Amino acid sequence: MIIQETLSNNLSLSISQSCQALEVSRSGYYKWRTQSGIVPSDGIMDLKNQIQGIALEFPSYGYRRITAELQNRGYAVNR
């Protein structure tokens, strides 16, 4: 797909500029991106696993306590 090829090249264009040049809406691009199966980075997957682990270990924790626990574990979140 043209959008994928254009955006995957390391051009110095922002997402907005790329979408404008290709005459594609930004919302259309983001919808395509979420549906195209782009794999998240290892850091994101690690953070997601940590969040799930904390939620299982402490079922009564809400997002504030989970955020505090992540910060205690050395993750730079919510800054």
Q: Please indicate, yes or no, if residue 60 is contained in any of the structural domains.
A: yes
Domain, as residue range, for 12: 2-35
User: 24 with 13: CB under 8 angstroms?
Assistant: no
Residues 7 and 28 in one domain: yes
More confident position, 4 or 77:
77
User: 40 with 21: CB under 8 angstroms?
Assistant: no
* Cα–Cα distance list, 62 to 29, 31, 55, 73 (Å): 32, 29, 8, 17
Q: Please indicate, yes or no, if residue 18 is contained in any of the structural domains.
A: yes
Q: At what angle do helices 42-57 and 63-72 cross, to 10 degrees?
A: 120
Model confidence, pTM = 0.51
Q: Please indicate, yes or no, if residue 77 is contained in any of the structural domains.
A: no
Q: Which two tokens mark 56?
A: 């299982």
Per residue in 14-49, pLDDT (tens digit) is 888 888 888 888 888 888 877 766 666 778 888 999
Q: Please indicate, yes or no, if residue 8 is contained in any of the structural domains.
A: yes
